[in-house]
Homo-oligomer: A and B are copies of this chain.
Amino acid sequence: MILAAIKKKILIVVMDGLGDRGCKEFDGLTPLQATDTPNLDWFTKNGIAGTCDTVAPGIRPGSDTSHLSILGYDPLKVYTGRGPFEAAGIGLIGKTGDVAFRCNFSTCDDKMTILDRRAGRINIPDTTELIGSLQGMKVDGIEVIIKESTEHRAALILRGPGLNPNVTDVDAHDSGPFKWSVGKVPEADFTASVLNKFVKESYERLKDHPVNKRRVSEGLLPANIIMPRGAGEFPNILPFPEKYNTTAACVAGVGMIRGICGVCGLDVIELPSCCTGGCSSDFVAKAKVVMETLEKYDFVLMNAKAPDVCGHDMDPRKKSEIIKRLDQMAGYFKENFREDMVIVFTADHSTPCSLGDHSGDPVPITMYTPGNVRDDAEVFSESGCAHGRVGRIRGKCIVPICMDLADRVEKFGA
């Protein structure tokens, strides 16, 4: 151990989808290049900077795979599909060996033909009441756990011996004839059979449910069947606190990020209602929660979703407005900075406004702690950070580098 040093705390601020490409609206600059960010620049001037491929060069990461990387895991090894991570995102954190699915509440007729994959975009509280009638089910010895999510969405976990995630979706991905699940390998036939039996049973239990009778009487579509897709086994992930010998928490409004962090063993902090996980979110209020959380934990990951939303909406001016507000948040961190702290500002991926979706462009990264080496990067942007000494790193290097800056690493050798 290093005797002279205190182990510092670590904060990673992920500004979701922050990276961009040149925008016509800004004469070819990115929203970040075109926006004045004095506080983020202060951290860049006084810290070390670089660019980061959260997964690998040229890979277009999802927010799930990129956050796994940023937490130090290799998504190419541990990312087992959307099912388990969406389930985790609504609090259904399974065990290794469980097989998880994303589901839709859908509408079918009595010949099992799908009339609407989203059951007229049914929502809570109807879904909550309907799901009650599906709980505690066992199919051929397999336990069924199901939970409603937003709108017509739900997540399903199958738990028990002999399961295999290599099954096709129970979802035609369109209206029309029903498509039953089949095993993609013989070892998965049992799982497909269990899944199909569950789907049939969901129809039996839901078709005459009082909620659906009421919906029909109101001219709404009944949600009379569950359609699961995106099968994935819950991965065997060494919990973050064990992997890095730290306490760890996540401050995020978005279910998927909360789910990823939960699967990785981080405590998920509850947020006040002003932290919406969208563009209306109060970033400074969230930053206050982060600093309170840092009192109790060694490591905190914070996610702010808003820039990603603007990228998907292809709205560079709105993204620039959000960036100004994120810089005010950075100002809060600067004013309330703890000397025993390493802070990182980065993004999980780029969401170029010209594309309306994620791209593989590397994202800017700045790391600051009192007494770090000062480098020659001065501006927090896709180009400005490239002048720094961090160079071009992978997302999975972020936590190891922070752990070293925080003087939390054992020496390898003598």
Interface residues of A (CB under 8 A from B): 2-5, 20-23, 28-30, 33, 50-51, 55-66, 75, 79, 82, 85-86, 256, 314, 354-362, 371-376, 382-383, 385-393, 397, 399-405, 407, 409-414
Known contacts A361-B404, A391-B51: A5-B413 contact under CB 8 Å: no
In the bound complex, residues from chain B placing their C-beta under 8 Å from that of A22 are 371-374
Q: Which 9 A-B pairs have the closest CB atoms?
A: A62-B413, A58-B400, A391-B392, A65-B413, A360-B404, A386-B389, A57-B397, A375-B383, A62-B414
In the bound complex, residues from chain B placing their C-beta under 8 Å from that of A82 are 413-414
| Residue contact A63 to B356, C-beta cutoff 8 Å | no
**Distance (whole angstroms) from the CB of A223 to the closest CB of chain B:** 23
Residue on B nearest A65 in the bound complex, by CB:
B413
Residue of B57, B61, B410 near A411 (CB, 8 A) is B61
In the bound complex, residues from chain B placing their C-beta under 8 Å from that of A412 are 55, 59-62, 65, 75, 79
**Distance (whole angstroms) from the CB of A60 to the closest CB of chain B:** 5
**Distance (whole angstroms) from the CB of A320 to the closest CB of chain B:** 15
In the bound complex, residues from chain B placing their C-beta under 8 Å from that of A383 are 373-376, 389
| Residue contact A414 to B57, C-beta cutoff 8 Å | no
**Distance (whole angstroms) from the CB of A181 to the closest CB of chain B:** 21
Question: Once bound together, how far apart are the Cα atoms of A66 and B386, in whole Å?
Answer: 26
Residue on B nearest A79 in the bound complex, by CB:
B413
Residue of B55, B63, B357, B400 near A2 (CB, 8 A) is B357
Residue of B3, B360, B373 near A20 (CB, 8 A) is B373
| Residue contact A376 to B386, C-beta cutoff 8 Å | yes
| Residue contact B65 to A2, C-beta cutoff 8 Å | no
Residue of B5, B387, B393, B414 near A392 (CB, 8 A) is B393
| Residue contact A63 to B360, C-beta cutoff 8 Å | no
Chosen A-B contacts, 23 in total, with CB atoms closer than 8 Å, are A3-B357, A4-B314, A4-B354, A4-B356, A22-B373, A33-B374, A55-B412, A56-B400, A58-B401, A58-B402, A58-B404, A58-B409, A61-B411, A61-B413, A79-B412, A361-B405, A373-B382, A376-B383, A383-B389, A386-B387, A386-B389, A390-B392, A392-B392
